[in-house]
Amino acid sequence: MFTPRRLYGTCAGLTILVAVLTQQVVSEGWLNNFDIDAIKSSRRIGASNLFFSITVALGLRGLILAICLPLLGWLSWKKKSWIPVGGFLLVLLFETGLAGALKMAVGRSFPYEAQRGHLMYNPGELAFPSGHTTNAVALWGYTAWYLTRGWSRVQRARVGIGVAFVAAEVAVSSWLIRTHWPTDTVCGFALGGIALAAVVSLYTALGLNQPATSEH
Protein backbone atom coordinates (compact mmCIF):
# COMPACT_ATOMS: atom_id res chain seq x y z
CA MET A 1 0.00 0.00 0.00
CA PHE A 2 1.45 3.35 -1.10
CA THR A 3 0.46 5.43 1.91
CA PRO A 4 1.43 9.14 1.94
CA ARG A 5 3.72 8.58 4.91
CA ARG A 6 5.56 5.76 3.16
CA LEU A 7 5.90 7.74 -0.07
CA TYR A 8 7.25 10.83 1.70
CA GLY A 9 9.64 8.69 3.70
CA THR A 10 10.86 7.04 0.50
CA CYS A 11 11.53 10.42 -1.12
CA ALA A 12 13.39 11.65 1.97
CA GLY A 13 15.53 8.51 2.28
CA LEU A 14 16.46 8.49 -1.40
CA THR A 15 17.28 12.20 -1.30
CA ILE A 16 19.71 11.57 1.54
CA LEU A 17 21.29 8.74 -0.44
CA VAL A 18 21.77 11.02 -3.47
CA ALA A 19 23.35 13.67 -1.25
CA VAL A 20 25.80 11.17 0.26
CA LEU A 21 26.76 9.73 -3.12
CA THR A 22 27.23 13.18 -4.63
CA GLN A 23 29.40 14.28 -1.72
CA GLN A 24 31.56 11.19 -2.08
CA VAL A 25 31.95 11.67 -5.82
CA VAL A 26 32.69 15.39 -5.71
CA SER A 27 35.12 15.11 -2.78
CA GLU A 28 36.73 11.96 -4.24
CA GLY A 29 35.92 10.00 -1.10
CA TRP A 30 36.37 6.30 -0.41
CA LEU A 31 33.58 5.39 -2.84
CA ASN A 32 35.79 6.64 -5.66
CA ASN A 33 38.32 3.97 -4.78
CA PHE A 34 35.54 1.40 -4.82
CA ASP A 35 34.53 2.60 -8.30
CA ILE A 36 38.07 2.26 -9.62
CA ASP A 37 38.46 -1.25 -8.18
CA ALA A 38 35.08 -2.26 -9.61
CA ILE A 39 36.02 -1.12 -13.11
CA LYS A 40 39.33 -2.97 -12.88
CA SER A 41 37.36 -6.07 -11.94
CA SER A 42 35.08 -5.65 -14.95
CA ARG A 43 38.14 -5.57 -17.20
CA ARG A 44 39.38 -8.81 -15.69
CA ILE A 45 35.97 -10.44 -16.19
CA GLY A 46 36.02 -9.55 -19.89
CA ALA A 47 32.24 -9.85 -20.40
CA SER A 48 30.77 -9.80 -23.90
CA ASN A 49 30.38 -6.19 -25.00
CA LEU A 50 27.90 -7.20 -27.71
CA PHE A 51 25.53 -9.05 -25.35
CA PHE A 52 25.57 -6.49 -22.54
CA SER A 53 25.33 -3.56 -24.96
CA ILE A 54 21.96 -5.07 -25.93
CA THR A 55 20.74 -5.71 -22.39
CA VAL A 56 21.72 -2.23 -21.22
CA ALA A 57 19.34 -0.85 -23.86
CA LEU A 58 16.44 -1.68 -21.54
CA GLY A 59 17.33 1.60 -19.83
CA LEU A 60 17.43 3.56 -23.09
CA ARG A 61 14.91 6.37 -22.95
CA GLY A 62 13.97 6.07 -26.61
CA LEU A 63 13.16 2.37 -26.29
CA ILE A 64 11.08 2.89 -23.15
CA LEU A 65 9.16 5.76 -24.74
CA ALA A 66 8.50 3.70 -27.86
CA ILE A 67 6.89 0.98 -25.75
CA CYS A 68 5.23 2.80 -22.84
CA LEU A 69 4.07 6.07 -24.36
CA PRO A 70 1.79 4.53 -27.04
CA LEU A 71 0.37 2.09 -24.47
CA LEU A 72 -0.40 4.76 -21.88
CA GLY A 73 -1.59 7.16 -24.57
CA TRP A 74 -4.04 4.54 -25.80
CA LEU A 75 -5.29 3.99 -22.25
CA SER A 76 -5.77 7.74 -21.83
CA TRP A 77 -7.77 7.86 -25.05
CA LYS A 78 -9.83 4.80 -24.10
CA LYS A 79 -10.62 6.08 -20.61
CA LYS A 80 -10.95 9.72 -21.76
CA SER A 81 -8.58 10.69 -18.97
CA TRP A 82 -5.17 12.36 -18.92
CA ILE A 83 -4.18 10.35 -15.82
CA PRO A 84 -2.34 7.41 -17.48
CA VAL A 85 -0.13 9.33 -19.89
CA GLY A 86 0.00 12.54 -17.82
CA GLY A 87 1.69 10.81 -14.92
CA PHE A 88 4.19 9.19 -17.25
CA LEU A 89 5.11 12.55 -18.75
CA LEU A 90 5.46 14.09 -15.29
CA VAL A 91 7.84 11.31 -14.25
CA LEU A 92 9.77 11.74 -17.49
CA LEU A 93 10.18 15.49 -17.00
CA PHE A 94 11.08 15.15 -13.33
CA GLU A 95 13.67 12.40 -13.73
CA THR A 96 15.21 14.06 -16.79
CA GLY A 97 15.53 17.36 -14.93
CA LEU A 98 17.02 15.81 -11.83
CA ALA A 99 19.54 13.64 -13.66
CA GLY A 100 20.45 16.34 -16.18
CA ALA A 101 21.09 18.98 -13.54
CA LEU A 102 23.29 16.65 -11.49
CA LYS A 103 25.21 15.50 -14.56
CA MET A 104 26.05 19.07 -15.51
CA ALA A 105 26.93 20.05 -11.95
CA VAL A 106 29.31 17.16 -11.26
CA GLY A 107 31.02 16.74 -14.64
CA ARG A 108 32.28 13.20 -14.12
CA SER A 109 33.97 11.30 -16.96
CA PHE A 110 32.88 7.84 -18.06
CA PRO A 111 35.06 4.83 -17.16
CA TYR A 112 36.13 4.28 -20.76
CA GLU A 113 37.39 7.89 -20.84
CA ALA A 114 39.38 7.64 -17.62
CA GLN A 115 43.16 7.56 -17.87
CA ARG A 116 45.13 4.78 -16.19
CA GLY A 117 42.13 3.71 -14.15
CA HIS A 118 41.72 7.05 -12.42
CA LEU A 119 38.61 9.17 -12.30
CA MET A 120 38.46 12.42 -14.22
CA TYR A 121 36.28 15.50 -13.77
CA ASN A 122 35.73 17.88 -16.63
CA PRO A 123 32.96 20.37 -17.45
CA GLY A 124 30.49 18.81 -19.83
CA GLU A 125 31.18 15.18 -18.85
CA LEU A 126 27.93 13.43 -17.96
CA ALA A 127 28.65 10.09 -16.31
CA PHE A 128 27.15 10.82 -12.88
CA PRO A 129 24.38 9.80 -12.41
CA SER A 130 23.46 7.05 -14.89
CA GLY A 131 20.55 8.13 -17.05
CA HIS A 132 19.86 4.53 -18.07
CA THR A 133 19.20 3.33 -14.53
CA THR A 134 17.23 6.48 -13.75
CA ASN A 135 15.03 5.79 -16.78
CA ALA A 136 14.59 2.12 -15.90
CA VAL A 137 13.38 2.82 -12.36
CA ALA A 138 11.26 5.89 -13.09
CA LEU A 139 9.66 5.05 -16.44
CA TRP A 140 9.28 1.26 -16.26
CA GLY A 141 8.31 1.78 -12.61
CA TYR A 142 5.51 4.23 -13.36
CA THR A 143 4.13 2.09 -16.16
CA ALA A 144 4.13 -0.98 -13.92
CA TRP A 145 2.57 0.98 -11.05
CA TYR A 146 -0.25 2.33 -13.20
CA LEU A 147 -1.06 -0.91 -15.02
CA THR A 148 -1.21 -2.97 -11.83
CA ARG A 149 -3.48 -0.70 -9.79
CA GLY A 150 -6.34 -2.81 -8.53
CA TRP A 151 -4.27 -5.99 -8.58
CA SER A 152 -3.58 -7.98 -5.44
CA ARG A 153 -0.61 -7.08 -3.25
CA VAL A 154 1.17 -10.29 -4.20
CA GLN A 155 0.72 -9.65 -7.92
CA ARG A 156 1.96 -6.08 -7.62
CA ALA A 157 4.95 -7.24 -5.60
CA ARG A 158 5.89 -9.67 -8.36
CA VAL A 159 5.69 -6.95 -10.99
CA GLY A 160 7.73 -4.65 -8.76
CA ILE A 161 10.39 -7.32 -8.44
CA GLY A 162 10.42 -7.59 -12.22
CA VAL A 163 11.03 -3.85 -12.60
CA ALA A 164 13.79 -4.00 -9.97
CA PHE A 165 15.38 -6.90 -11.85
CA VAL A 166 15.36 -4.95 -15.13
CA ALA A 167 16.91 -1.91 -13.44
CA ALA A 168 19.56 -4.08 -11.77
CA GLU A 169 20.31 -5.76 -15.09
CA VAL A 170 20.84 -2.33 -16.69
CA ALA A 171 23.18 -1.35 -13.87
CA VAL A 172 25.21 -4.56 -14.04
CA SER A 173 25.43 -4.33 -17.83
CA SER A 174 26.70 -0.73 -17.57
CA TRP A 175 29.38 -1.87 -15.14
CA LEU A 176 30.48 -4.86 -17.20
CA ILE A 177 30.88 -2.87 -20.43
CA ARG A 178 32.36 0.04 -18.46
CA THR A 179 29.94 2.76 -19.52
CA HIS A 180 29.30 3.80 -15.90
CA TRP A 181 30.94 3.65 -12.49
CA PRO A 182 28.91 1.71 -9.89
CA THR A 183 28.05 4.85 -7.93
CA ASP A 184 26.62 6.36 -11.13
CA THR A 185 24.10 3.53 -11.33
CA VAL A 186 23.22 3.59 -7.62
CA CYS A 187 22.53 7.31 -7.83
CA GLY A 188 20.43 6.63 -10.92
CA PHE A 189 18.37 4.14 -8.91
CA ALA A 190 17.79 6.76 -6.23
CA LEU A 191 16.85 9.57 -8.62
CA GLY A 192 14.46 7.32 -10.53
CA GLY A 193 12.87 6.32 -7.24
CA ILE A 194 12.50 9.95 -6.18
CA ALA A 195 10.79 10.90 -9.44
CA LEU A 196 8.46 7.90 -9.26
CA ALA A 197 7.58 8.35 -5.58
CA ALA A 198 7.01 12.09 -6.05
CA VAL A 199 4.49 11.59 -8.87
CA VAL A 200 2.72 8.77 -7.04
CA SER A 201 2.59 11.05 -3.97
CA LEU A 202 1.06 13.82 -6.08
CA TYR A 203 -1.56 11.47 -7.48
CA THR A 204 -2.35 10.26 -3.97
CA ALA A 205 -2.68 13.80 -2.63
CA LEU A 206 -5.03 14.74 -5.49
CA GLY A 207 -7.14 11.64 -4.97
CA LEU A 208 -6.16 10.22 -8.34
CA ASN A 209 -4.53 7.06 -6.99
CA GLN A 210 -7.49 4.81 -7.72
CA PRO A 211 -7.53 1.36 -9.38
CA ALA A 212 -7.18 1.70 -13.14
CA THR A 213 -10.40 -0.25 -13.66
CA SER A 214 -12.42 2.32 -11.70
CA GLU A 215 -11.57 5.37 -13.85
CA HIS A 216 -14.12 6.76 -16.30
Q: Is residue 72 part of a domain?
A: yes
Half-sphere exposure for 132 (CA within 13 Å, toward CB): 25
> Is the pLDDT reported for residue 34 higher than 60?
yes
Instruction: Tell me if 153 is assigned to some domain.
Output: yes
Q: Is residue 174 part of a domain?
A: yes
Three-class SS of residue 20? helix
Alpha-carbon distance of 167 to 189, in angstroms, equals 8
Is residue 123's pLDDT more than 70? no
With respect to residue 213, please indicate whether it lies within any of the assigned structural domains.
no
- Within-domain flag for 215: no
- Is there a domain that residue 216 lies in? no
Domains of the chain: total: 1
In a domain, 78, yes or no: yes
Band of pLDDT at residue 5, cut at 50, 70 and 90: confident
Among 143, 136, 144, CA closest to 160: 144
pLDDT tens digit string along 194-211?
999 999 888 887 776 655
User: CA-CA distances (angstroms) from residue 90 to 47, 82, 94, 124, 200?
Assistant: 36, 11, 6, 26, 10
| 170 is a domain residue | yes
Q: Which stretch of 3-12, 46-55, 99-108, 181-190 has the lowest confidence by average pLDDT?
A: 3-12
| pLDDT tens digits, one per residue of 10-20 | 888 999 999 99
What is the mean predicted confidence (pLDDT) over 56-66?
Answer: 95
For residues 216 and 214, what is the distance between their CA atoms, to the nearest angstrom?
A: 7
Average pLDDT of the segment spanning 37-55: 89
What does pLDDT average to over the chain?
88
pLDDT of 114: 63
Q: Between the CA of residue 178 and those of 30, 52, 127, what are the distances in Å?
A: 20, 10, 11
- Is 80 exceeded by the pLDDT of residue 44? yes
What confidence score (pLDDT) does residue 10 get? Answer: 85
Cα gap 190→61, rounded to integer Å: 17
Mean pLDDT on 92-107: 94
Distance separating alpha carbons of residues 144 and 208, to the nearest angstrom = 16
Preceding amide of 129 cis, omega within 30: yes
- Looking at residue 215, its pLDDT comes to 43
Q: What is the pLDDT of residue 122?
A: 65
What gap in Å lies between CA 41 and CA 37, rounded to an integer?
A: 6
According to the model, what pLDDT value does residue 11 have?
A: 86
Contacts of 142 (CB under 8 A, 6+ apart): 87, 88, 91, 196, 199, 200
Confidence of residue 137 (pLDDT cuts 50, 70, 90): very high
180: pLDDT confidence band, cut at 50, 70 and 90? very high
Q: Which residues, in sequence order, are bridge partners of residue 121?
A: 108
3-state secondary structure of 115: strand
For 140, the domain range is 4-208
Where does residue 16 rank: exposed (0-12), middle (13-18), buried (19+ CB within 10 A)?
exposed
Task: Give percent of the chain above pLDDT 90.
Answer: 62
For the chain, give the number of residues.
Answer: 216
**Least trusted range by pLDDT, from 88-97, 147-156, 162-171:** 147-156
Quick one: average pLDDT of 138-162?
A: 92
